């Protein structure tokens, strides 16, 4: 398939360090400088968002780098307004690279008179002129079907598998744990990659933010447990699950979470918890408190996103990045 002209990256304010890292990795892969398009994304005095692109983008293959993390509404509007600016500037194709897709937790109607916000956001993205979405570890895989445009959903599990095999030299006593029944498929995928057994923490929730009861399904006695999940918000469930695992005989508890939202008392809870370590990705720009926490570690996603962007631009397979064999050389010397 013939390629379009050179890929061009533009970033909002949500995660500039990740955007810069992706540009550097693409420069390394291509042997030529790939920079961020010169633009300004600012606020009027009443906090309306203003976007101005200083470079010609007519006929260009544009990639907007923007997580819709906290503040979710501001970052989402930045994404939509940047897309509109590029569309009206005659960009040939606009791809939204959304490492963390916000509003994904509202993916179905669990009660009467509630919205399906993930579908609403999908409609807004398509209407803004975005033609493709690249994201990572959607909260629910069916959200891909909410879009009428192509969606490439990357997975953190191959990167986590590489990191675990590097950090845990002896895998004989390692067990992967899903913190709830809904996350079993995600935990099973990682367990297969590292050839480890699987356990489940069954939780009964009375209402949002409160855990009434937790039960461990499986024998974790003497095991080094690795809790796997896609989102950690206030860390209440995660820290409670770690305590329950220790109470049931686990020797250590570690956690691998894709998106470290870590709002409210999360960092303090994690620092004071029985968890030996929490590993998150840089899909969300980590504040200083997270970076300085003694038992929180951040693994980079820029190598994977840079390669995925190049594959989309080239018209080659993105699903090849699901394999550890493909990501291994990309992450060599990083993890």
Q: Is residue 105 marked as binding?
A: yes
Cα–Cα distances (Å) from 119 to 105, 108, 209, 236, 265, in that order, read: 11, 9, 24, 28, 30
Q: Is residue 139 marked as binding?
A: yes
Q: Is residue 142 marked as binding?
A: no
Q: Is residue 12 marked as binding?
A: no
Q: Is residue 61 marked as binding?
A: no
Catalytic residues: 203
Q: Is residue 47 marked as binding?
A: yes
Q: Is residue 229 marked as binding?
A: yes
Q: Is residue 288 marked as binding?
A: no
7-11 and 61-65 strand pairing:
parallel
Q: Is residue 180 marked as binding?
A: yes
Q: Is residue 106 marked as binding?
A: yes
Q: Which residues are annotated as a binding site for Mg(2+)?
A: 139, 180
Task: Report the binding-site residues.
Answer: 46-48, 105-106, 139, 180, 205, 229, 233-237
Binding site for D-ribose 5-phosphate: residue ranges?
205, 229, 233-237
Please enumerate, by residue number, every residue annotated as part of a binding site for ATP.
Answer: 46-48, 105-106
């Amino acid at each position: 398939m013939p390629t379009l002209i050179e890929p061009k990256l533009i970033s909002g304010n949500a995660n500039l360090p990740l955007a810069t890292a992706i540009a550097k990795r693409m420069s390394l892969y291509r042997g030529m400088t790939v920079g961020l398009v010169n633009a300004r994304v600012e606020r009027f005095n009443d906090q309306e968002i203003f976007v101005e692109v200083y470079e010609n983008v007519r006929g260009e293959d544009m990639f907007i780098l923007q997580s819709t993390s906290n503040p979710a509404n501001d970052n989402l509007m930045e994404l939509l307004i940047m897309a509109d600016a590029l569309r009206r500037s005659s960009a040939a194709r606009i791809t939204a690279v959304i490492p963390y897709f916000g509003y994904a937790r509202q993916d179905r109607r669990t009660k009467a008179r509630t919205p399906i916000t993930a579908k609403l956001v999908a409609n807004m993205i398509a209407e803004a002129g975005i033609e493709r979405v690249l994201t990572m570890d959607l909260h629910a895989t069916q959200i891909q079907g909410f879009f009428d445009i192509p969606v490439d959903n990357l997975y953190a599990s191959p990167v986590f598998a590489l990191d675990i095999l590097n950090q845990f030299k002896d895998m004989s006593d390692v067990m992967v744990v899903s913190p709830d029944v809904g996350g079993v498929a995600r935990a099973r995928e990682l367990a297969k990659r590292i050839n480890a057994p699987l356990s489940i923490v069954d939780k009964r929730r009375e209402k949002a933010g409160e855990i009434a009861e937790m039960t461990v399904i499986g024998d974790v006695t003497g095991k080094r447990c690795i809790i796997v999940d896609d989102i950690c918000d206030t860390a209440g469930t995660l820290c409670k699950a770690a305590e329950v695992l220790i109470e049931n005989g686990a020797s250590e508890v570690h956690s691998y979470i894709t998106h470290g939202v870590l709002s409210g008392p999360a960092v303090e809870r994690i620092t004071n918890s029985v968890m030996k370590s929490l590993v998150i990705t840089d899909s969300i720009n980590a504040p200083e408190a997270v970076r300085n926490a003694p038992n929180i570690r951040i693994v980079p996603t820029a190598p994977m996103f840079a390669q995925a962007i190049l594959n989309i631009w080239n018209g080659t397979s993105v699903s090849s990045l699901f394999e550890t064999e493909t990501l291994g050389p990309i992450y060599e010397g990083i993890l």
